[in-house]
Amino acid sequence: MVALAANAKRPLTTGSLLSGGPKSGRRRKFTTPLLIILVVQGLVAWHYWGGSDHEGVGVAEGSRDALARIWHPSSSSREPPGQLGGAGSVSTALRRRTDRALDVPFKLSSDPLPVHHIHEQIHFHNHPLSPHRPPSNQFLLAPDAVSSGRIKRTAPVLSIITATQNPREIMLETAASVLGQSLQNIEWIIVDDHTTKPESLAMLRQIAKDPRVVVIPNTGDKGLSASRNVALRWVLSEEKLREGRRPKYLASLDDDDLYEFTALEKTVWMLESNPEWDMGGFHVIKFNANNETVTMGLHSGAANFFNGNFVPNAAVYSTRAVLNSGCRYDDVNFAVGGEDWDFWMCLAENGHWGGTVPEPLYWYRGNPAAFRQSRWGNMFVDGFSSLKQRIQDKHVALTESGRFPDPPVRPSRELEAIRWEAPFETHLARFKKTIMFIVPWLYVGGADVGALHQIQLFAEQGYRVTVVCTLYRNPQGVELRPHVLQYTHDVHILPSFLRASDIPRYIKYLVDTRGIEEVVMSNSQLIYEMLPALAEQMPHVKFIDYLHNEAYDGWKSGGYPTFSLITQRFLSRTVTCSWYLRDWLIERGHTNPNSIGVVKLGIEVADFSPNNASMKALAKRDLLNVPESTVVVTIVGRLDPQKRPTLVPDIADKLRRLGGYRKGDFVIVMLGDGDLKDEVKARVAQLRVADFVRLLGTVEHPQTYLAATDIFLLPSMSEGISIAVAEAMAMGLPIVTARAGALPEQLGEAPGVDSSQLAGVLVDHQLKADVDAPKYADELHRLIDDPELRARFGANGRKNVEKSFDWRTTLMGMFDEIKKAKLPDYTKALAMPNPAAHFALQNLLLENHSETDFAAGQNALKAPTRFGIGKELQERCGESSQALTDWINSVESPRNCDKKGKLEAELLQRSAKFQCGAWCLFDLTTDKFAGWSYNGQCFTPFDEQSPGWCKEFWSSRPAGVHLPKDVAIPLRGDDDDDDDIDDDEGA
Ligand SMILES: *[C@@H]1O[C@H](CO)[C@@H](O)[C@H](O)[C@H]1NC(C)=O
Ligand SMILES: *[C@@H]1O[C@H](CO)[C@@H](O)[C@H](O)[C@H]1NC(C)=O
């Protein structure tokens, strides 16, 4: 992931993404019932509501017109369901979508708004049914699930219980959010608690036309708790059990709240993945009367008893837990509020608990205080503290320490069993225009913004896009998710709700349930490595990979392009973002160049425009405090080895000597941060060029600095297509960069094009500072002296990006590439690398490096002679590299980094024997989190109180090793150490 992580740290400069702020539509509200109808309608509506009388429901007036407008008359959705049917059962075989797939339009909002998850950024009106979101018909009920009668014969995965009394029109939004779930195999039990208003009754009848809806009257005592118990009695009845119709999961939803469309699918999968759990929650957004976000929840454990109720009222719970515990809603003691809290505490008292999907999947509509009171009585009549008292009195057992249930999550283990079959049938319709994008995560960085643009483009063409992330890193790794959610509801950050061993089958499940036949994958090592299995499980699915650039530092022998080469037998097509990279693949033995296409990423050209002289003078003064005459040279790039930032002080030094320049003649502005910052600073000081080099760190909008710039410099080792260079070209700046990677191509170099048409100069570097710095200085000197040449290069660059670098134009190529994708022909497979060989060697090198790598053996021959603990470590760990030599030296005589601090050297050394080369040495005499972190020289003790960075690596503590604390083990060199360890193997 190194290459991507590096890419990803680039600050985003595409203005359109950052302008998630106020837009004209932001304050727009639903003004007409028609809008509500528009969002409520789906295929289900067409089949089950639209085809019947309106029965005088005011809100439904005109729904036919609305339907006619959103469904093309030619749409196959008008076909009788039977034609789309066929035998469908839970099966492990994938079904091709072809004739069974629906062709239902999916039309994006014309005014999309990002769906943020960070409180300060959230648009609280942008809930799942907001007109700024994708339409609510992304997921529809499979017609054949109805026509075959399966929906009435089999148990739903989950039953939602909603008690309602004289529901308002707003309940139609709740209905749309329930019936539009990606988990379509649900039942909605609506308990009508003595509704009297005719329009409400009519609306309930209307909703009940959906075959999954059951309306049950509450004929007994009024109230929320009593009504919900009516539903529980019904759903848990013996009769249901006999019919095989008892659901595995339950949830209680108020009649005006909203689920995100993937809420139930993700939560249920989390529970399937963690069978010891009985409750699944999510983060909550409260909107309407008050705007709040709730990120506490089931994971907050006993705080839910002692401090307040943080379990979302719409959380999923298992039928098993309700049956085991006998818990019901307490309509005597909590008839006027607190019923949810009491119910959860009852489950907790009986040992049932669970966890949280860390994503806002539920929108809780806050109502004016008077409203709820008018319906359900005087909630919180005595205030919160009295409610808390009553909860604690009733569930007094939970006050005992250690009594609150804390069912642990099983840590993932290597080589756990992998299943491929889905745990349930979803009854989700398959669609014709679908596509899946798989990326490791959604950083705000070049690679992922490229993915976002592709997602947007496909969604704008009517595709239902499914997005999968294979890594979860909060918050950076989900920063771009709000923007992706503008184009699809279907975004899945797998490790945030699934155990690792369920990832393969979940991907297959998504592909199967959505009817996906094309998967575009980018930068995901996991998917490349899993591809042999995925291709075997889904033989008709085309896997297409998109490549950005080779790893410049030799990581994985070139990184993702190397993965692409190795797995080519399973790929239907490979798309690179430069001709350079295509050639790179062919040079390294790609067997089928015809299967490689080129599609450039592009930038938002409209966000950049060349600055005129007077504006530039102003920018120079305001931003940099230099006069117009100072030539400003700007570099945008991370301070890491790829970009060679340490070369810059040398360039500045050579340049000032070359031109006899003084302070104020030129200045090199470096934008970006990174590990080499201190080194660059030191070099600046050493060469005394502080007057000529400025390090400004990362800035949010490099455009503002580009506006003050005369020359753009990028002395990288290599680059794929560089977004920073493209943006500088769009600003009309001349470029000085290396003849490396795709940079020549980007500056316009091509056969038959002479250098006067390029966007700048290309330096033939040798990657030696003393050779390269003068070369760069020469070119800069020439440009500083020649404003006309600068202007010509700048104009060429601007023309070049206008013509061929706007992302909407460049990325259109993806549609062709997808069409050209051909399922692999395995008869030719012998000519291609077999990934199994590569992956096996990769893992062996990771785990048994010193026993596998010839170089390790050779290096071990050179290891020093050691005695005592040093000898022991040498024998156990194999002293096969300089890094291990340093480590063993340090463990031999461990020093505390804090010179005044103490260190339990003997404990450290004993523990080190089982953690060869580790920089986080866990204390193996305790099961608690404790040990010493190493920094290459000395050690810093850590424990729960001061955890340090080793907290992240806690899962790497050697399993099953428990050393006795007080037995002083003689530090012998040759004895069998294993007899004092309680090892897994013995058990
Ligand atoms: C909640 O946020 C919305 C928009 O995001 C705003 O229109 C509304 O006034 C806010 N409500 C309150 C009570 O602050
Ligand atoms: C330079 O650009 C600014 C802003 O775009 C504009 O207001 C100004 O008139 C321009 N000046 C010249 C000399 O073109």
Choice among 2-6, 157-161, 329-333, 468-472 with the minimum mean pLDDT: 2-6
pLDDT mean over 848-870: 86
pLDDT band at 409 (very low <50, low <70, confident <90, very high): confident
pLDDT band at 247 (very low <50, low <70, confident <90, very high): very high
Question: Residue 612: nearest ligand to its CA?
Answer: 2
> 554 — alpha (psi -120 to 50), left (phi > 0) or beta?
left
Q: What is the rounded distance in angstroms from the CA atom of residue 360 to the CA atom of residue 363?
A: 8
pLDDT tops 90 at residue 246: yes
Q: What is the DSSP letter of 658?
A: H
Q: Which atom of ligand 2 is nearest to the CA of 609?
A: 5
pLDDT mean over 489-503: 97
Chain-centroid distance, C-alpha 117: 12
Question: For the chain, which residues make up each domain, given as ranges?
Answer: 23-53+129-399, 434-598, 609-805, 893-986
Question: In what side-by-side order are the strands of the sheet with 434-439?
Answer: 490-493, 464-469, 434-439, 518-521, 542-547, 573-576, 596-598
Q: What is the rounded distance in angstroms from the CA atom of residue 765 to the CA atom of residue 717?
A: 8
CA 311 – ligand 1 centroid, Å: 24
Q: What is the pLDDT of residue 773?
A: 98
pLDDT band at 967 (very low <50, low <70, confident <90, very high): low
Q: What is the pLDDT of residue 799?
A: 96
Query: By the 8 A CB rule, do 113 and 126 touch?
Result: yes
Query: By the 8 A CB rule, do 65 and 42 touch?
Result: no
pLDDT mean over 669-684: 96
pLDDT mean over 888-911: 93
| pLDDT per position as a tens digit, 426-462 | 999 999 999 999 999 999 877 888 999 999 999 999 9
Average predicted confidence (pLDDT) for the chain? 87
pLDDT mean over 3-30: 31
Choice among 219-233, 707-721, 825-839 with the minimum mean pLDDT: 825-839
Ligand 2 neighbour 609 (Cβ under 6 A): no
Pseudo-torsion of CA 83, 84, 88, 94, nearest 10°? 140
- Please give the share of the chain, as a percent, with pLDDT higher than 90: 73
Question: Residue 122: nearest ligand to its CA?
Answer: 1
**Which amino acid would we find at residue 374?**
S
Exposure string (b/e) for 937-968, b if CB count within 10 Å is 16 or more?
ebbbbbeeeeeeebeeeeeebeeebebeeeee
Q: What is the pLDDT of residue 448?
A: 86
Q: Using CA positions, which residue lies closest to atom 12 of ligand 2?
A: 612
Question: Residue 611: nearest ligand to its CA?
Answer: 2
CA 289 – ligand 1 centroid, Å: 8
pLDDT tops 90 at residue 912: yes
**What topology does CATH give the domain 434-598?**
Rossmann fold (3.40.50)
C-alpha triplet 107, 108, 111: angle, nearest 5°: 140
Q: What is the rounded distance in angstroms from the CA atom of residue 558 to the CA atom of residue 564?
A: 10
Q: What is the rounded distance in angstroms from the CA atom of residue 312 to the CA atom of residue 298?
A: 8
Q: Using CA positions, which residue lies closest to atom 12 of ligand 1?
A: 290
pLDDT tops 70 at residue 935: yes
pLDDT band at 74 (very low <50, low <70, confident <90, very high): very low
Q: Using CA positions, which residue lies closest to atom 13 of ligand 2?
A: 614
Question: CATH assignment of 609-805, given 3.40.50.300, 3.30.70.2860, 3.40.50.2000, 1.10.3720.10?
Answer: 3.40.50.2000
Choice among 38-47, 105-114, 241-250, 504-513 with the minimum mean pLDDT: 38-47
Q: What is the pLDDT of residue 52?
A: 32
Pocket test for ligand 1, best of 30, 121, 124 (most atoms within 8 A of CB): 124
Question: Of the spans 64-68, 770-774, 943-947, which averages the highest pLDDT?
Answer: 770-774
User: Where do the H-state alpha helices sit in 188-338?
Assistant: 198-207, 224-235, 238-242, 263-273, 303-306, 319-325
Q: What is the pLDDT of residue 969?
A: 52
Helix (H) or strand (E) run with residue 40 in it? helix 33-40
Bridge pairing between strands 518-521 and 434-439: parallel
Question: CATH assignment of 23-53+129-399, given 3.50.50.60, 3.90.550.10, 3.40.640.10, 3.40.50.2000?
Answer: 3.90.550.10
| pLDDT per position as a tens digit, 331-384 | 999 887 899 999 999 999 999 999 999 999 999 999 887 776 676 655 555 578
Choice among 121-125, 146-150, 214-218 with the minimum mean pLDDT: 146-150
**Going by C-beta distance under 8 Å and a sequence separation of 6 or more, which residues neighbour residue 516?**
97, 434, 435, 436, 466, 510, 541
CA 610 – ligand 2 centroid, Å: 11
pLDDT band at 945 (very low <50, low <70, confident <90, very high): very high
- One-character DSSP codes across 243-267: TT---SEEEE--TT-EE-TTHHHHH
pLDDT tops 70 at residue 65: no
pLDDT tops 90 at residue 754: no
pLDDT mean over 163-173: 96
CA proximity to 567, closest of 268, 364, 833: 833
| pLDDT per position as a tens digit, 261-303 | 999 999 999 999 999 999 999 999 999 999 999 999 999 999 9
Question: Residue 616: nearest ligand to its CA?
Answer: 2
- Please give the share of the chain, as a percent, with pLDDT higher than 70: 87
Pocket test for ligand 2, best of 608, 609, 612, 703 (most atoms within 8 A of CB): 612
pLDDT tops 60 at residue 952: yes
pLDDT tops 90 at residue 21: no
pLDDT tops 90 at residue 626: yes
Identical fold, 434-598 and 609-805? yes
Ligand 2 neighbour 614 (Cβ under 6 A): yes
CA 123 – ligand 1 centroid, Å: 8
Q: What is the pLDDT of residue 414?
A: 87
pTM of the model: 0.84
